[in-house]
Amino acid sequence: MRIWALGGAEGFSQAALQGVRVHPDSLAILAPLDEEENLALGRAAVDEFGKRVPLSDGSAEVGRSEWLSGTPNVFGRTFTVDLGLDRAVTRVRILPGGTALAKPEYFIRGYRLEIATQLQPDIWHRLAEQRTNFVLTVDTRQDSTWSVVDSMGRPLPSLGRYVRLTLIRQDRSNWVALGDIEVFGTGYVSRGEIAGEFALEQPVNVGQIRWQEQVPPQTAVLVQLRGSNGIQELPAWDETAHTSGGEVFAGAEPVARLQYRGVMQTADPFATPALRRLEVDYDPVLVAQEVLGAVVPDTARKGVETALTYRVSIEVDPGDYGIDLLRLDAALAVEGIRFKGVELGYEWHSSAEEGRTFIALRERLGTSGMLEIAGKAVFLEDRTAIPLAVGSLEQEQRDGYVNWQNAREASDATWTVRGFGAPPELLSKVDLSPRPFSPFRDEAVNFRFVVSNLQENTEVAVEVFTLTGERVRRLSQVGGARLYHFEWDGRDHDGRIAAPGLYLYEIRVEAGENAASHTGTLVVAY
């Protein structure tokens, strides 16, 4: 395994920086906010009725991008600009509409400017006020109306997300034409990027991604990698997110082209995150030259256990590690594996919580051929993709973790299963085994059932009771729509083995208004 590292003033300076600057302490941080940047540009602006007004579009065009009162009665009219997040505001400028440029008497006679924070949007603090105004363009930097200043009379920043203009005076004979409300501030920009490309001499298998960061409250650093085989286009950035260090690269491999991007964000105008160092493991030795996956059949009735075969086309060269490990992104009950028509020995583990199946082969696949994995799975969605990754025990033992090489979808087939039929009930029938259950003979009694139609993760619980209603044990998992598997070892909450006899069990799914439950009986026998 080799490491590519980015860090230090020299390394960061060679990257493409947008809204980011390199600090002398060899940190990449957000850039200072340009005092001439209009924070309101492109943001939502509404009047007192919540109706959108064109006062933040950067234009004052007559009839299209201005607000024209249509009446001299403008006292109390308000216009609020949403900056998107709290900013440290130091200046506000109100531009006249195009009509006012042609008819100068259509200016604001008096105004009040206020600000409110994201946490307290209904509590307004005054920024500036002018009860008698005679200029077309209102600029708090020029008219000295700013409410909060230092000992030298310089304006101090006011924190807030919402800036409100209120007209507090009117002219009996003239209308008012507004063009734009511009807001300026200080601190750091709210978002920045640092990006670059890793020069590869040959296709590689990308491993873990690690970075050192400093993230004060209300700030974040997101690091992303994307790669291609040099022929296919690079995927979109939003499909390649990494949210924590130590993750293994999630894109298709091997890669001949690799790019990185660090996204830095802050919701505190005076705080910036910092990126100190970025490291990426890569291995020029591949698990295999090419691995292509597809599933047959590619359709299944929703909520019904379906038999399928996952076909893996493998191309392995003598210099490759070869394949000992496989990972499927689906909870699959494996029933057999063949390579070039010959049955293989294997061990497997399926995690419904992770939605993944791990397979360890008892012999290494060091030649090219077709691998077939037979099994059963339950599908609940309209479309369920089952990506594949392969790994090497030799590589794992050497580096301390499995550097999964992510396969590609076969060009002439698909690894996505399309679900058909009506969505099943929230809670399916329960498969309970063994019957009866003996805590001295059997390891556990198994509850297997399917929960469907969940939009968000929720708690799914299995409770065991005596016939008198006393609860013996409660088991729970938090998850979404999937196959659930619970095991009860026959012991109560205190670890004592339950007495022989007949017991009740209840399965409950709390999904808001769509709660469901199932009750039944089980027998404990010695």
Q: Say if CB 351 and CB 386 are below 8 A apart.
A: no
Residues 181 and 55 reside in one and the same domain = yes
Assigned domain for 332 exists = yes
Distance CA 354, CA 435 (A): 29
Rounded CA gap, 262 and 225, in Å? 9
Three-state secondary structure call for residue 12: helix
In this prediction, residue 382 carries a pLDDT of: 86
**What integer pLDDT is reported at residue 243 of this predicted model?**
65
**Which residues, at least 6 apart from 50, have a Cβ–Cβ distance to it below 8 Å?**
none
pLDDT level of residue 380 (50, 70, 90 thresholds): confident
Range of the domain at 82: 45-186
Q: Which of the listed residues 420, 454, 473 is the one where a domain comes to its end?
A: 420
456: helix, strand or coil: coil
* Whole-number pLDDT of residue 428: 87
Half-sphere exposure of 302 (CA within 13 A, CB side): 18
Q: Taking a C-beta distance cutoff of 8 angstroms, is the pair 300, 334 a contact?
A: no
- Six token digits for residue 226: 């994307």
Residue 425 lies in a domain: no
Helix (H) or strand (E) holding 488: strand 482-488
The structure tokens 């012991």 sit at: 491
Domain identity same for 182 and 297? no
From 139, 117, 121, 129, select the one nearest 184 (Cα to Cα): 139
Q: What is the pLDDT of residue 480?
A: 84
The rounded Cα 8 to chain-centroid distance in angstroms is 29
Tell me: the pLDDT tens digits for 312-350? 999 999 999 999 999 999 999 999 999 999 999 999 999
Residue 371 has pLDDT above 70, yes or no: yes
CATH code at 481? Answer: 2.60.40.4070
Same domain, 456 and 409: no
Count of CB atoms within 10 A of residue 150's CB? 8
Q: Are residues 318 and 278 in the same domain?
A: no
- Tell me: do 28 and 95 sit in the same domain: no
DSSP string, 318-349: TTS--EEEEEESS--EEEEEEETTEE--EEEE
pLDDT at position 401: 95
Dist CA 55 CA 41 (whole Å): 9
Judge if 179 and 197 occupy the same domain.
Answer: no
Tokens describing residue 356 = 């993944």
Beta strands 290-296 and 408-409, pairing class = parallel
Q: Quick check: 278 and 260 in contact, CB under 8 A?
A: yes
State the pTM of this model.
Answer: 0.76
pLDDT tens-digit profile of 384-432? 999 999 999 999 999 999 999 999 999 999 999 999 987 778 888 899 9
Tens digit of each residue's pLDDT (9 = 90 or more) over 244-300: 778 899 999 999 999 999 999 999 999 999 999 999 999 999 999 999 999 999 999
Is residue 302 domain-shared with residue 271, that is, in the same domain?
no
Query: At which of 153, 186, 219 does a domain end?
Result: 186
Q: Is the domain of 88 the same as that of 161?
A: yes
* Same structural domain, 413 and 311: yes
41: left (phi over 0), alpha (psi -120 to 50) or beta: beta
Shared-domain flag, residues 124 and 157: yes
Q: Which helix (H) or strand (E) holds 99?
A: helix 98-102
Instruction: Select from 205, 337, 194 the least CA-distant residue to 280.
Output: 205
**Whether residues 194 and 182 fall in one domain:** no
Domain count, the chain: 4
Residue 426 lies in a domain: no
Residue 38 lies in a domain: no
Same domain for 413 and 436, yes or no, is no
